[in-house]
């Protein structure tokens, strides 16, 4: 089943307590599509870069089954650039620089080859671009998921709420859920956000795992307690990529399967943070991923004898 990813393809400069990078390849669309490439053989990406973006990286994406027909390369323009610095606890970060560059006037084109996409992951990018892609799809996909961030809440709240009303699933972090809903309690925030449109909501809580809300059901998945988190950049996108890759490959939207997808997403995210940028996502194999998923199963599994008088 085909998966379409929309999201920034970018240069990032990252500073963590473990080190600092110059410009390296990043972007929500890059992390999502690399993570989902471990689940689907063929997938499509819509994004835009400048002519400063390395052709070899596009080849790397192609070699992982990612169709880049919808990745526009703008001659004479610069690729989106983001720079961030993590605090010592690695749970929070400051955005130092956001240069939209080619993203500023991005008009997404949906190639004909992409029109059969059953699953769509709208990664972090302008909400107007996200809704334009939905409007340009001739058929309604089986599931449209979306991610966003505080940056867009600050500068484009009206576009954002319109896009949120058009999707089936929203994936955001706890801080963003609180900002979007104006409510501190995540349970109340979840209700307010689902009243905006998406039937399914996932709230990521960094090293504290993720919550899945579907109808009256809630599922909590832990994050793997890792000895060392090297660079959390892209962990949220990698989660989304693992989640949607698993959904697109199993083609099952039941609550039980959504729970499994959350575990696959969490497992993929746990790899992403082990090295800078996309490095770890380029070198995984099936066995490593299965072993990691089994660690999650062991971590959260227990027998219970009810012993209340």
Considering the rule CB under 6 A, would residue 235 count as an interface residue with ligand AMP? yes
CA atoms within a 13 Å half-sphere pointing along the CA-CB vector of 111: 16
8 near ligand AMP, judged by CB under 6 A: yes
d(CA 144, CA 134): 8
Q: Is the Cβ of residue 9 or residue 186 nearer to ligand AMP in the bound state?
A: 9
Q: State which residue, 26 or 50, has the beta carbon closest to ligand AMP.
A: 26
Minimum separation from the CB atom of position 129 to ligand AMP (A): 10
Number of other CB atoms surrounding residue 80 within 10 Å: 27
237 binds ligand AMP (CB under 6 A): yes
Sheet with 66-74: list strands edge to edge: 66-74, 43-50, 3-6, 119-122, 143-147, 169-173, 200-204, 210-214, 217-221
Q: Does 10 contact ligand AMP by CB under 6 A?
A: yes
> Whose structure tokens read 């066995």?
287
Single residue of 3, 35, 122, 125 touching ligand AMP by CB under 6 A:
125
> What is the closest distance, in whole angstroms, from the C-beta atom of residue 10 to ligand AMP in the complex?
4
Quick one: which of 83, 102, 78 has its CA closest to 15?
A: 83
Q: Identify the residue among 108, 209, 234, 242 touching ligand AMP (CB under 6 A).
A: 234
- Total residues at the site for ligand AMP (CB under 6 A)? 17
Near ligand AMP by CB under 6 A: residue from 5, 36, 43, 124: 124
Q: Give 100: exposed, middle or buried? Use CB within 10 Å, 0-12, 13-18, 19+.
A: middle
Of the two residues 108 and 234, which places its CB atom closer to ligand AMP in the complex? 234
Q: Which stretch binds ligand AMP (CB under 6 A): 5-13, 110-118, 163-171, 289-297?
A: 5-13
Residue from 39, 82, 230, 276 binding ligand AMP (CB under 6 A): 82
* Closest approach of ligand AMP to the CB of residue 217, in Å: 25
CB of 277 vs ligand AMP, minimal distance in Å: 8
Q: For residues 65 and 267, give the distance between their C-alpha atoms in angstroms, rounded to a whole number.
A: 21
26 binds ligand AMP (CB under 6 A): yes
Q: Is 36 in the site for ligand AMP (CB under 6 A)?
A: no
- 159: closest CA among 205, 122, 110? 122
Binders of ligand AMP among residues 134 to 193 (CB under 6 A) are 149, 151
Q: Is there a contact between 30 and 278 (Cβ–Cβ < 8 Å)? A: yes
Q: What is the rounded CA–CA span in Å between residue 281 and residue 285?
A: 9
Nearer to ligand AMP, 26 or 141 (CB): 26
Closest CA to 130 of 155, 163, 103: 163
What is the C-alpha separation between 75 and 225, in angstroms, rounded? Answer: 44
Nearest CA among 198, 260, 147, 159 for reference residue 190: 198
Q: Could you say whether residue 12 binds ligand AMP (CB under 6 A)?
A: yes
Binding site for ligand AMP (CB under 6 A): 8, 10, 12, 26-28, 82, 98, 124-125, 149, 151, 233-237
């Amino acid at each position: 089943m085909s998966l379409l990813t929309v999201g920034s393809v970018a240069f990032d400069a990252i500073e963590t307590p473990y080190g600092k990078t110059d410009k390296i390849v990043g972007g929500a669309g890059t992390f999502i599509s690399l993570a989902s490439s471990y689940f689907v053989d063929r997938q499509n990406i819509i994004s835009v870069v400048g002519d400063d973006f390395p052709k070899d990286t596009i080849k790397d994406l192609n070699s992982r089954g990612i169709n880049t027909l919808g990745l526009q390369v703008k001659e004479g323009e610069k690729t989106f650039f983001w720079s961030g610095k993590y605090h010592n606890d690695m749970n929070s970060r400051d955005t130092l620089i956001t240069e939209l560059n080619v993203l500023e006037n991005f008009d997404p084109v949906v190639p004909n080859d992409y029109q059969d996409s059953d699953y769509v992951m709208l990664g972090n990018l302008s909400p107007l671009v996200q809704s334009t892609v939905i409007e340009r799809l001739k058929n309604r996909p089986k599931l449209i998921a979306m991610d966003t961030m505080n940056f867009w809440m600050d500068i484009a709240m009206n576009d954002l709420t319109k896009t949120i009303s058009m999707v089936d699933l929203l994936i955001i972090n706890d801080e963003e859920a609180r900002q979007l809903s104006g409510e501190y309690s995540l349970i109340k925030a979840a209700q307010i956000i689902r009243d905006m449109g998406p039937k399914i909501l996932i709230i990521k809580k960094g090293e504290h795992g993720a919550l899945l809300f579907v109808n009256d059901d809630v599922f909590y998945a832990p994050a793997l307690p890792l000895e060392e988190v090297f660079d959390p950049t892209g962990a949220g996108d990698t989660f989304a990529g693992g989640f949607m890759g698993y959904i697109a490959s199993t083609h099952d939207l039941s609550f039980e399967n959504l729970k499994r997808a959350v575990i696959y997403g969490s497992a993929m995210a746990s790899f992403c943070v082990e090295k800078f940028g996309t490095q770890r996502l380029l070198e995984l194999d099936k066995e490593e991923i299965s072993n990691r998923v089994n660690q999650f199963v062991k971590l959260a599994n227990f027998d219970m004898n009810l012993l209340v008088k």
